[in-house]
Amino acid sequence: MSSKSKVLALKYRPQVFKDLIGQKVITETLINSLKIKKISNAYLFTGIRGVGKTTIARILAKSLNCKNGFEKICKENLCENCKSITDSNHLDVLEMDAASKTGVDDIRDLIEFSRYGPSIAKFKIFIIDEVHMLSKQAFNALLKTLEEPPEYLKFIFATTEIRKIPITIISRCQRFDLSRIKAEELFDYLKIVSDKENGNITDEALKLIVKMSEGSVRDSLSLLDRAIATKANDSEINLEYAQKIFGYFDRSKLIELIKLIFSGKEQETLKFYRNIYEQGVEPKTFLNDFLEILYYFKNIQFLNSENSNFTLNNAEFNEIKNVSNSLDKKDILLFWQFTIKTLKELDIVSDQNISIEMFLIRLLYLVDNSSINEKNEMKDNIEVKTQTKILGSIENPEEDASNLEVNKNRPINQIKNYFQEENIKKDIKKFNNFEIEIKSFEDLIKICEQKREIQLKYELETNVNLVKFEKNRIEISFNDKIEKNFIKDITKRLFEWTNERWIISLSKEKGNLSIKDNKIKIINKEINEFKATPLYEKIRNSFPDAKLLNIKKNKNKSKDE
């Protein structure tokens, strides 16, 4: 295969350690060990896909077997050994895919083959890719040979799932963890490759490729290959065109979506999401991107615009920073929990798109938009009220001489005057007290109904046995049917409604019947009384199978009837 017809991932595959990017510490360690001839029996390379595990394994094999020696390893004019290793057909360097050869018999054949020394090279090397796919029996069969191999035999393992490898295998290897390639390094590398391939592609489009590759060199080269292949004539590949090629969803649109949700605009929110869905975005991808944006909204104050993954540009960073100041962080954390929950629910629902729409509607109802508007109105009213009060005391000194005496040396008509701000704070505190008086247990149930706290109302009526009700103190008997967060929730709501601390305590005393049980008791009493009447006997004789479940009194009937 000619170099022109090769895909970029193979064409630009590093052939020596100096060509590797992003793994400086690992390459330096391997080079130093080769220089001082401290070569391990087995090497284990682990990391995500496309960061250089198999590539490093091949370079290491070439470094050990190059006819020119490690110091003068072949790069262009390859020796016989280096060429054979590069083409994966060397007699003494066996490259095996553990995903297709997982059994113990395959490992036995390998061990049997290892008994014979190298034919033409200095070392016999076994490169086993995706080694975690081997069976438990295969790993056990490998243990003894791996610990005490012949001097000419070396093992090089590569895996993306290090946790699936037995610790007995790991302990016999020299382990190297390959990291994701940093965005800046990957961007510079792609720019060099793009120039060599005459790819007329903008920096913003390259940054998109870096972002999509998630630190994988192979993924980034494959995406770049695809972008160059779709280019017509000498037209430039810009960001917009690259997004169409890759079917990429611009996550910055989620910023606008979150703003719509916090504004309580249900119709606009659903319409905005449907436009996103029509672009071909998968629901799971949408939710994962939504989680990422929520992370930025919550933690933007701890981040800087020099983001290492090109995830946010400066405009998006500033937009999130400005919007996040007006959002309640508790709502963002609730959004996070609901998003995680919805991700788990997606596999249950047949139409995932409908599930996402219902998820967005739930978020809309989570945000208390009315309270936000009330707070804004409250603030405006307080400012007007405070200014009127101050001006009124000046214009009518006889009306409030004491206030005039206090304020006579204070500046007037200055919006940010210290004393005016103090008055505003006092008025805000007073205004926040909605003066809701709860004098009885029945008042509390009515308030819960008015405030639409249905769950609290249900618990109060169904599971609460009242022992004592006093000012700012409620005592109830212990009942394991009460919802576990009931006391915490009712205490919080009482403080919000009355601006006073309430104590809810559990008692060993039996307490009164719950409202629901009391109603059932009254109904049963009325039923028993009616059963003692002649009318019931008459009905019973006519309908022997009938059962009396409830009694409903006719309110329109006169007392004499």
Q: pLDDT at position 131, please?
A: 93
Q: Could you report how far apart the first and last alpha carbons of the chain are, in Å?
A: 106
Q: Can you read off the two tokens belonging to residue 83?
A: 């060429």
Residue 267's nearest CA partner among 361, 172, 136, 168 is: 361
HSE value, Cβ hemisphere, 13 Å, CA-based, for 121? 27
Neighbours of 474 (CB within 10 A): 22
Q: What does the alpha-carbon distance between residue 175 and residue 30 come to, in Å, rounded to a whole number?
A: 11
Q: Which run of H or E residues covers position 199? A: none
Q: pLDDT at position 187, please?
A: 92
Residue 20's nearest CA partner among 209, 206, 179 is: 179
Helix axes 183-196, 203-213, angle to 10 degrees: 120
Write out pLDDT tens, residues 481-506: 788 788 888 888 888 888 888 888 88
What is the secondary structure of 29-57 as a DSSP string?
HHHHHHHTT---SEEEEE-STTSSHHHHH
For residue 308, which amino acid is it?
Answer: S
How far is residue 31 from each of residues 154, 158, 251, measured CA to CA in Å? 16, 19, 42
The DSSP secondary-structure symbol of 313 reads -
Q: What does the alpha-carbon distance between residue 219 and residue 261 come to, in Å, rounded to a whole number?
A: 35
Q: What does the alpha-carbon distance between residue 506 and residue 466 come to, in Å, rounded to a whole number?
A: 10
Q: Which run of H or E residues covers position 395? A: helix 369-395
Helices and strands (H and E) in the chain: how many: 25, 8
In this structure, are strands 473-477 and 466-470 parallel, antiparallel, or unpaired?
A: antiparallel
Q: What does the alpha-carbon distance between residue 335 and residue 208 come to, in Å, rounded to a whole number?
A: 27
Contact between 462 and 482 (Cβ < 8 Å): no
Q: pLDDT at position 407, please?
A: 45
Q: What does the alpha-carbon distance between residue 462 and residue 350 come to, in Å, rounded to a whole number?
A: 37
Residue 423's nearest CA partner among 398, 449, 386 is: 386
Q: What does the alpha-carbon distance between residue 183 and residue 189 come to, in Å, rounded to a whole number?
A: 10
The DSSP secondary-structure symbol of 232 reads -
| 559 three-state secondary structure | coil
Q: Which domains does the chain have, with CATH numbers?
A: 8-177 (3.40.50.300), 183-246 (1.10.8.60), 253-367 (1.20.272.10), 370-432 (no CATH), 441-512 (3.30.300)
Residues of the chain with pLDDT under 70: 1-5, 232-233, 251, 304-314, 368-435, 553-561
Q: pLDDT at position 479, please?
A: 75
Quick one: CA dihedral 107, 110, 115, 117, positive or negative? Answer: negative
Q: What does the alpha-carbon distance between residue 18 and residue 27 come to, in Å, rounded to a whole number?
A: 8
Q: Can you read off the two tokens belonging to residue 265?
A: 């605009």
What is the secondary structure of 425-484 as a DSSP string?
HHHHHHHH-------SHHHHHHHHHHTT-HHHHHHHHHT--EEEEETTEEEEE--TTS-T
